[in-house]
Amino acid sequence: MPSSDPLGTSSPRRTATEADRSEARITVVVTDGPLIVQSDKTVLLEVDHPQADDARIAIAPFAELERAPEHVHTYRITPLALWNARAAGHDAEQVVDALTTYSRFPVPQPLLIDVVDVMGRFGRLQIANHPAHGLVMSTTDRAVLTEVIRNKKISPMIGARIDEDTVIVHPSERGRLKQALLKVGWPAEDLAGYVDGEAHPIALDESDWQLRDYQRQAAEAFWAGGSGVVVLPCGAGKTMVGAAAMARAQATTLILVTNTVAGRQWKRELIARTSLTEEEIGEYSGEKKEIRPVTIATYQVITRKTKGEYKHLELFDSRDWGLVVYDEVHLLPAPVFRMTADLQSRRRLGLTATLVREDGREGDVFSLIGPKRYDVPWRDIEAQGWIAPAECTEVRVTLTDAERLDYATAEADERYKLAATALTKTPVIKSIVEKHTGEPTLVIGAYLDQLEMLGDELDAPVIQGATRNKEREELFDKFRRGEIKTLVVSKVANFSIDLPEASVAIQISGTFGSRQEEAQRLGRLLRPKGDGRQAHFYSIVSRDTVDTEYAAHRQRFLAEQGYAYHIVDADDLLRPL
């Protein structure tokens, strides 16, 4: 692109008319690239092309992976992806340049114009503090402001019009207003700032360790934006990004986690890596209700209803928090979204390995927690040696005639369980465990009767939702020390469990086609190994069933990160050498 910026994309606040005037000045570059960009906003990536990895990295900030078969992956350019890219500092010129640089054929000109137009919508409306009127929403495009204040869902959230370009916003509606504006296609730029909260000294103790470059960059990117989401692979040290943000905030902090075990891991890491002492960190869970300068609470307890009310949501108002950290933000429950809408004056940090939400509420993460502030490809972190290399294998088993008949005659809602828990999988699982004898191995599934049976077959402990926290921690500790080589675990091990030496995972059943679950399960293996060995991730799938379809869906996320699944037949795996 010429330095004169013919697209005019240096500012996000261009009007649609200005974008139209740029149409004639877009230069289309044609190369023998790996991409085919289509007018319906789908982008096809030829996986075997020598520039495929470069192209994947270039389009990752603004394109979402939809399908990932062997040779051609399909991405889609969505408004939310473009707005996330814009909020993260990418402009329309960079998006256009990535598409035109790697496209094999001319990029449809209307698509390029639409990219400029959609990205230009972000920030056309701004929410800020006015010295005389408090919270206001202003615009650089008067017609846009007029349009949104006439919307029946938006008008109750705003007050009087100060002038033609500015309107008063009810302070309590700051979060809900951003949600509503996103839904009508005008995402607001929130410049209203944040309260400092109750001060509390927190410092990183880097006497025997140091923040990695990407962790420091992630914390700085978050702080510069004030709120938002950091996306890093499991095993890349997201907890340290949180600790760095806390040290920057120097304020009381509320940390929300998926379960008690994860919360205690956060506590151990903060005590080891920061100036915080055990007395300064409280646990707010089903077992304890401690509120201290740094309080770690589980999603389960704060969303628990008592007589129809979420009484524990009062925790959000129990102190003048300066920072709220949402671990595994892709799992944030709906009641926490509602409370977060009232926390817009607090700095909010979301941590996750994937922005994929199976409930489709990525837009609520964007508007209430904040946009994506930092992201780095998994394979980049792997190349730097911070996470272990992984080999992913799908093992396809053939059901017996009896199992096939049971499957064929079952109701539709029972078929996945029948396919996922087929006894035909058992000898395959045992064979893989034997193949990796002596290596720390996790057998992961979703159905408790299947897990209990495998625990007996493998003579291995089983950890599931009903396992007491104390027993869980004891078993995980024995696994870390090498006293237990194989653990059979339910989905409780999907989230925030630090098992650095685990090098083999065997996925036997899952939550249907959940991509986020696939990412979390692979993440159990990605902590670097002391001896540098490779990690192995197996997915056992029943052929010719919905199990195969769901497996393909789950694998989409990993394909986006550059991991390839090798498919092998179970008969070949079981055949003696």
Summarised one tens digit per residue, pLDDT across range 81-94 is 999 899 888 999 99
User: Three-class SS of residue 460?
Assistant: coil
Distance from C-alpha of 250 to C-alpha of 198, rounded to nearest angstrom: 9
What is the pLDDT averaged over residues 73-102? 92
Q: Do residues 179 and 167 touch, judged by C-beta distance below 8 A?
A: no
Query: Does 434 score more than 50 pLDDT?
Result: yes
Query: Residue 42: is it exposed, middle or buried by C-beta count within 10 angstroms (0-12/13-18/19+)?
Result: middle
Centroid of chain to Cα 85: 15
pTM over 0.85: no
Strand order in the sheet with 166-169: 158-163, 166-169, 134-139, 125-130, 189-190
The predicted pLDDT at position 358 comes to 64
Task: For residue 239, give both structure tokens.
Answer: 């907890």
The predicted pLDDT at position 243 comes to 97
Instruction: Specify the higher pLDDT residue, 550 or 100.
Output: 100
**Minimum mean pLDDT among 138-142, 166-170, 332-336, 527-531: which range?**
527-531
What is the pLDDT averaged over residues 523-531? 62
- Share of residues in the chain with pLDDT > 70 (%): 85
Query: Residue 212: is it exposed, middle or buried by C-beta count within 10 angstroms (0-12/13-18/19+)?
Result: middle
